[in-house]
């Protein structure tokens, strides 16, 4: 008999949580009947501003398998997942969203697969981005293309955080206490053998998404900075390119002057060149700044989250 921990990060999920609990409870029954395994719930309240905590406490009062961690403020889903993994006692640990976008019934199959011993992790990826704004899908695709090109870590397009992993893999993830967490990259980085289950995207059951386009955009930058140093080389590449172009120009101007003399003109073209080079320099300094800010935050060694209450 094994214990399966279900870690659920929750931020303002008072509407979705009752649905989630009800549905997942049925799955827990299924697992118990079919495989004989027990389930525990770990709800991580990520500083919700609504009544999420009351809902969780109510569940915990009624069901001894429900435990919780509550943060002092909103620390973000990444921190919530870390805290949940840390609190989990199971032999197999699952990460799941509270909005039922991750179908809990997959857990049965996931557990069966892991128990066979061939895989260390069963993860899910959605095959379509239907129901998502077109521009968002476009940028998401571009992001995955880019990051897989410039990073050695494999980051799977459409991968969700929903997965079941062995204790060994969870411990490996816990051994990465970095402040700037990008889970999709972390799961790839730790390695282990992962089986991918594909499923069609579903809408969230209640409440609304916490991700605006802008938040997603910043998150993608974080992913790039966390798992690739390629942008840092950009300055050198531009620099070399500019040198070559400038050399060509110098030769061209010398030859032209020798043949036709030196009529002074070309003010607009000079402005263009100055602005272009200035722009490239600012871009490169900006990239340096991105990495520097991450280094700055890492060196502070601040905790990933602060716990206010737990059970």
Nearest to ligand UDP of 47, 231 (CB atom): 47
- Contact assessment for residue 256 and residue 250, using Cβ atoms and an 8 Å cutoff: no
Minimum distance, C-beta of residue 60 to ligand UDP, in the bound complex (Å): 17
Residues of the shown chain interacting with ligand UDP in the complex, contacts defined by CB under 6 A:
9-11, 13, 46, 74, 76-77, 80, 97-99, 101, 204, 209-211
Long-range contacts, stretch 231-235, CB < 8 angstroms, 24+ apart? 231/150, 231/287, 231/290, 231/291, 232/287, 232/288, 232/291, 234/283, 234/284, 234/287, 235/284, 235/287, 235/288
Stretch that binds Mg ion, among 97-105, 112-120, 215-223, 284-292 (CB under 5 A): 97-105
Kindly tell me the burial class for residue 129, based on how many C-beta atoms sit within 10 Å of its own C-beta (0-12, 13-18, 19 or more).
middle
- In the chain, what is the straight-line distance between the N-terminal and C-terminal CA atoms, in Å? 24
Minimum distance, C-beta of residue 122 to ligand UDP, in the bound complex (Å): 19
Minimum distance, C-beta of residue 132 to ligand UDP, in the bound complex (Å): 9
State the Cα torsion 285-288-293-298 to the nearest 10°. Answer: -170
State the Cα torsion 67-196-107-90 to the nearest 10°. Answer: -40
- φ, ψ of residue 222 in degrees (nearest 5): -60, -40
Minimum distance, C-beta of residue 13 to Mg ion, in the bound complex (Å): 10
Minimum distance, C-beta of residue 12 to ligand UDP, in the bound complex (Å): 7
CA–CA dist 47, 70 (Å, integer): 7
Q: Which among ligand UDP, Mg ion, none contacts residue 46 (Cβ within 5 to 8 A by kind)?
A: ligand UDP
CA–CA dist 186, 276 (Å, integer): 37
- Contact assessment for residue 95 and residue 174, using Cβ atoms and an 8 Å cutoff: no
Minimum distance, C-beta of residue 183 to Mg ion, in the bound complex (Å): 14
Q: Which among Mg ion, ligand UDP, none contacts residue 213 (Cβ within 5 to 8 A by kind)?
A: none
Nearest to Mg ion of 17, 169 (CB atom): 17
Long-range contacts, stretch 281-284, CB < 8 angstroms, 24+ apart? 283/234, 284/234, 284/235, 284/238
Q: Which among Mg ion, ligand UDP, none contacts residue 9 (Cβ within 5 to 8 A by kind)?
A: ligand UDP
Nearest to Mg ion of 99, 120 (CB atom): 99
Minimum distance, C-beta of residue 236 to ligand UDP, in the bound complex (Å): 36
Q: Choose, by CB under 5 A, the member of 37, 99, 102, 161 that binds Mg ion.
A: 99
Nearest to Mg ion of 48, 228 (CB atom): 48
Q: Choose, by CB under 5 A, the member of 74, 101, 281, 290 that binds Mg ion.
A: 101
Minimum distance, C-beta of residue 95 to ligand UDP, in the bound complex (Å): 9
SS3 122: strand
Nearest to ligand UDP of 183, 281 (CB atom): 183
Q: Which of 193, 129, 184, 180 is nearest to 161 (CA)?
A: 184
> Which residues sit opposite 41 in a β-bridge?
6, 66
**Structural Rg of the chain based on CA atoms:** 25
What residues numbered 197-216 form the site for Mg ion, per CB under 5 A?
Answer: 204
Q: Which among Mg ion, ligand UDP, none contacts residue 13 (Cβ within 5 to 8 A by kind)?
A: ligand UDP
Nearest to ligand UDP of 7, 39 (CB atom): 7
- Which residues bind to Mg ion, rule: CB under 5 A? 97, 99, 101, 204
């Amino acid at each position: 008999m094994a214990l399966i921990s279900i870690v659920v990060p929750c931020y303002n999920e008072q509407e979705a949580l009752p649905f989630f609990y009800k549905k997942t409870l049925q799955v827990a029954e299924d697992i118990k009947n079919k495989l004989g395994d027990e389930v525990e719930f770990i709800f991580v309240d990520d500083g919700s501003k609504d009544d999420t905590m009351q809902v969780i406490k109510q569940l915990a009062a009624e069901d001894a398998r429900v435990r919780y961690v509550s943060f002092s403020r909103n620390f973000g889903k990444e921190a919530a997942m870390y805290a949940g993994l840390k609190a989990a006692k199971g032999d197999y640990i699952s990460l799941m969203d509270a909005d039922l976008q991750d179908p809990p019934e997959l857990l049965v199959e996931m557990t069966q697969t892991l128990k066979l011993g061939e895989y260390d992790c069963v993860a899910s990826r959605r095959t379509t981005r239907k129901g998502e704004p077109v521009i968002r899908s476009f940028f998401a695709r571009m992001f995955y293309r880019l990051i897989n090109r410039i990073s050695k870590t494999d980051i799977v397009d459409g991968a969700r955080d929903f997965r079941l992993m062995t204790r060994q893999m969870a411990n490996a993830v816990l051994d990465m206490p970095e402040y700037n967490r990008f889970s999709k990259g972390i799961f790839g980085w730790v390695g282990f053998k992962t089986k991918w289950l594909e499923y069609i995207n579903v809408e969230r059951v209640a409440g609304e998404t916490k991700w605006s386009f802008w938040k997603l955009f910043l998150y993608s930058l974080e992913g790039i900075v966390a798992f690739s140093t390629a942008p840092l080389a950009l300055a050198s590449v531009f620099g070399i390119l500019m040198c070559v172009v400038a050399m060509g120009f110098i030769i061209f101007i010398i030859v032209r002057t020798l043949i036709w003399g030196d009529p002074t003109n070309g003010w607009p073209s000079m402005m263009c060149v100055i602005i272009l080079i200035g722009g490239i320099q600012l871009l490169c300094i900006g990239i340096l700044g991105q990495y520097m800010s991450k280094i700055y935050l890492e060196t502070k060694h601040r905790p990933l989250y602060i716990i206010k209450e737990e059970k």
